[in-house]
Amino acid sequence: MMLAVSEVLSPLKGGWFLDNAWLVPVVPTIGFALIVLFGKRLPKKGSELGVLSIFVSLVLASGAAWQWIQRVGAAGEEQFISPVVRTWTWWQAGGVEFTIGQHVDGLTVVVLFVVALISTLIQIYSLEYLRGDRRFTHFFAALTLFSAGMLAMVVAEDMILFLLGWEIMGLCSFMLIGHWWEDGANSRAALKAFFTVRTGDVGLLVGIAMLFFAANEWTTTNLGLSGFSIRGISAWALSGEPNSTVILVAAVALFIAAIGKSGQFPLHTWLPDAMAGPTPVSSLLHSSTMVVAGVFLVARLYPVFFTGLDILGPSSNVIMVIAAITIVVAAALAFVQTDIKRVLAYSTVSQLGYMMLGLGAGAWLPAVFHIFTHAFFKACLFLCAGSISHSASHHSFDMKKDMGGLRKHMPITFAAWTVSTLALCGVFPFSGFFSKDEIIDNVGGNGYTLFMAVGLGGAFLTAAYMTRATYLTFFGQARGASAGEHDSHDAHDSHDVHDSHDSPHESGILITGPIAVLAVLAIFAGLFNATPFGESWEYMKKWVEPRAVVVAQPSAGGPGESFAISVPSSEAGGVESPCGSETPTAGICYAPELNHAKFKWSKALLSLMIVFTGIAVSWLLSAALYGRRDPRLVGLTERNGLARAGYRLLANKYYLDDVYERGVVGTIAGPIARSAYWFNQNILDGILHGIARSARAVAMVVYRDIDQRVVDGAVNASADLTKTTGLAVQPLQSGRVGHYGALLFATAAVVALVFVILNT
């Protein structure tokens, strides 16, 4: 295809914050080390180091985001904006150079900012929530390292550092979920999360290895980069060089890792159990770290998935199928939960499904934007749940048993919960409307009508289960602990020292402050890409989405120059960009060309009608069932066989845990464990016992024959000879001088006689 091109040289200024973005994860890592070494000796038991280090990271991330916006503003509309890359050699092995460094672009700065901001707010919140905890210092150390792991993964220039940050989060999640490990349920939840995510992580290792061996030669020759380089892998994926089978298998392997980390069906079972950890951990884990890592992996290596899974192809792909199942399956499970945190956990799983659905359907920017908005309202919802537990429900999270009527006692928490719930449901003008509806709109705009319908159905379910949770928590009659009854004992009571007031009341400033900040962001964050208001409001598209242009000469890796071939956009009536539509022949592509659906209020109104219908239906049913105790609804699952079967299916979580524990663990891990035990008892222990018996026999021979008979015999014989000699000469020791003189004379005579004989 003939292209009218022009080579453009544009010196793009970097800036100190962009050039040194690697400090964002390094500072909290140092903070973690200092907390471990000196935390217990400090006045605040190390929490001050955690808060300070994360706040410094927030300042650095904010500076980097601002300078990136300036960098984008200095470039043209169609010009490629090179990422700010710095690398250092880590080690060398077998002729391969392993580097460590930073890759800062629009995606990096937005996630860095979100993670640092929410981590800072949660650290402040934890000062009060975990006050008096027996492992207060340990908690802040693990929480700080947890954030550092996510930040390191986000800023990583290559897949080795990416993997390091990924695994640091996995380790810290194990420590934090099992923070109160004395309770068996908490320990089991931590182990379940660890092993489930590790199952998916096998895919990450396989995918990284496949990409390295497939791309290394091309990236080294054409770009001077290692096969681990994220830039190199992205360019290789869009170059037309990859073998279709290899990149398909690599993409599927990487997506398996994303399924485990981001709680997609069928590896989502660990996420609700992760609620065993302290509420600040739940908030951080479910909003901006850990579970977002899988989505970030797909977004970061999007060219691999775009090519390998033929995104925007004639048919659907595995990402879309898994995401659609996850949206519906998780949303349905939220309806039968009585634990408020578990409702939010299944909500997170469902929202992660929306993000994956967007990525699978070619809606890269809406999916990334939903990461941004979802982080604020989901963190706020979890912190509101913690505020209720802290100050109103006597440390309980049971909505049916210990909540109800709390809106009068906790006005700030109630207002923040309401705002965040409306954002989660996608109600205009709250932030979730602008991101989630944009995903649904783009899925339909790219021709995936069935999946758009799934997205709309998920919006109805989201509105319904969140309305149910809101009614049970803040409306109706107070029940249990919220009514002043403290008969129940929650597992948290034995671990953390919370507010001692008996009656429900609003939490203190250290808890309500972060909640208020997040609530404000839940309202206004959507304005960063408010497509209903026109292109001038699409800031995220301008700042974050990579430009799908052909790069004539790749950047050398610094913040300086970028050379690009400007290709007119197909939307403007020009020629179609070869980035993604065909193999570029004049240069290199780092990002595929994607479509953006035009916003239409008719579609938005349809979505809003569905949401409001879900809210209305759920409110009426909740009021009838939990408020008036309508006899037609009370006990329905016991009277109706179909309702009973459906409830049991959901209450048992589709029996997936039984399948895993009895099917996988029981039939695979169980026999392996029993075989290993038999091998240990009969083979290894047999060998060790045989060696022990042989050693004992040798020791007996040495003791009896050598030590007792030879060594001790020789010593004893010497002693006997000495004794005999002593007895023989004893008579000579008479003590009489005359006797001694006679002996001396006799001796002299004998000596003289000897001399005479010898001289004769």
Q: What is the pLDDT of residues 399-409, one digit of tens each?
A: 988 888 899 99
The residues, ordered by sequence, that sit 6+ positions from 223 with a Cβ below 8 Å of its Cβ are: 229, 231, 232, 235, 554, 588
Q: Is the peptide bond before 25 cis (omega within 30 degrees of 0)?
A: no
How far is Cα 745 from Cα 752, in angstroms, rounded to an integer? Answer: 10
- Closest by CA to 329, choosing from 265, 395, 262, is 265
Q: How far is CA 620 from the centre of its chain?
A: 38
Q: What is the 3-state secondary structure (H, E, C) of 640-685?
A: CHHHHHHHHHHHCHHHHHHHHHHHHHHHHHHHHHHHHHHHHHHHHH
User: Could you tell me the two tokens for 609?
Assistant: 């009608």
Boundary-marking domain end, from 691, 707, 723? 707
Q: Is the dihedral of CA 166, 172, 176, 182 positive or negative?
A: positive
How far is Cα 267 from Cα 261, in angstroms, rounded to an integer? Answer: 8
Domain for residue 608, yes or no?
A: no
| pLDDT exceeds cutoff 70 at 489 | no
Q: Is the dihedral of CA 50, 53, 58, 64 positive or negative?
A: negative
Residue 201 has, within 13 A of its CA and on its CB side, a CA count of 18
Cα–Cα separations (whole angstroms), residue 231 to 104, 106, 360: 11, 14, 21
User: Could you tell me the two tokens for 92?
Assistant: 């060398």
Domain for residue 299, yes or no?
A: no
pLDDT digits 0-9 by tens, 550-600: 887 554 444 333 444 444 443 333 334 567 656 666 678 898 988 888 888
Confidence of residue 232 (pLDDT cuts 50, 70, 90): very high
Contact 287, 431 (CB under 8 A): no
| pLDDT exceeds cutoff 80 at 257 | yes
User: Could you tell me the two tokens for 16?
Assistant: 């100190």
| Predicted local distance difference test score (pLDDT) of residue 110 | 96
Domain for residue 578, yes or no?
A: yes
How far is Cα 528 from Cα 109, in angstroms, rounded to an integer? Answer: 14
Q: What are the backbone angles phi and psi of residue 562, rounded to the nearest 5°?
A: -140, 135
3-class SS of residue 229: strand
Confidence of residue 655 (pLDDT cuts 50, 70, 90): confident
Q: Where are the beta strands (DSSP E) in 128-185?
A: none
Domain for residue 95, yes or no?
A: no
How far is Cα 231 from Cα 589, in angstroms, rounded to an integer? Answer: 10
Number of domains in the chain: 2
Domain for residue 331, yes or no?
A: no
Average pLDDT, the chain: 86
Confidence of residue 735 (pLDDT cuts 50, 70, 90): low
Q: What DSSP string runs through 578-628? A: HHHHB--SSSEESS-----PPP-HHHHHHHHHHHHHHHHHHHHHHIIIIIS
- Closest by CA to 215, choosing from 230, 201, 195, is 230
pTM for the whole thing?
Answer: 0.85
| Predicted local distance difference test score (pLDDT) of residue 502 | 67
How far is Cα 678 from Cα 661, in angstroms, rounded to an integer? Answer: 22
- Closest by CA to 590, choosing from 549, 630, 559, 558, is 549
Contact 68, 109 (CB under 8 A): yes
The residues, ordered by sequence, that sit 6+ positions from 589 with a Cβ below 8 Å of its Cβ are: 235, 238, 239, 303, 548, 549, 550, 551, 578, 579, 580
Length of the chain: 760
Domain for residue 576, yes or no?
A: yes
Confidence of residue 28 (pLDDT cuts 50, 70, 90): very high
Residue 429 has, within 13 A of its CA and on its CB side, a CA count of 10
Contact 155, 24 (CB under 8 A): yes
| Predicted local distance difference test score (pLDDT) of residue 525 | 94
Percent of the chain scored above 70 by pLDDT? 90
How far is Cα 703 from Cα 64, in angstroms, rounded to an integer? Answer: 76
User: Could you tell me the two tokens for 752?
Assistant: 């003289």
Q: To which H or E segment does residue 336 belong?
A: none
Q: To which H or E segment does residue 583 belong?
A: none
How far is Cα 355 from Cα 349, in angstroms, rounded to an integer? Answer: 10
Q: Walk across the sheet containing 7-11 and list its strands.
A: 7-11, 561-565, 550-553, 588-589
Residue ranges making up the domain that contains 675: 658-707
Domain for residue 372, yes or no?
A: no
Contact 187, 324 (CB under 8 A): no
pLDDT digits 0-9 by tens, 308-328: 999 988 888 999 999 999 999
| pLDDT exceeds cutoff 50 at 10 | no
3-class SS of residue 624: helix
Of 162-166, 336-340, 543-547, 666-670, the least confident: 666-670
Domain for residue 590, yes or no?
A: yes
Boundary-marking domain end, from 707, 729, 744? 707
Q: To which H or E segment does residue 70 belong?
A: helix 47-74
| Predicted local distance difference test score (pLDDT) of residue 501 | 55
How far is Cα 98 from Cα 359, in angstroms, rounded to an integer? Answer: 30
Contact 133, 497 (CB under 8 A): yes
- Closest by CA to 28, choosing from 131, 160, 158, 169, is 169
| Predicted local distance difference test score (pLDDT) of residue 734 | 64
Residue 289 has, within 13 A of its CA and on its CB side, a CA count of 33
- Closest by CA to 514, choosing from 63, 109, 55, is 55
Confidence of residue 106 (pLDDT cuts 50, 70, 90): very high
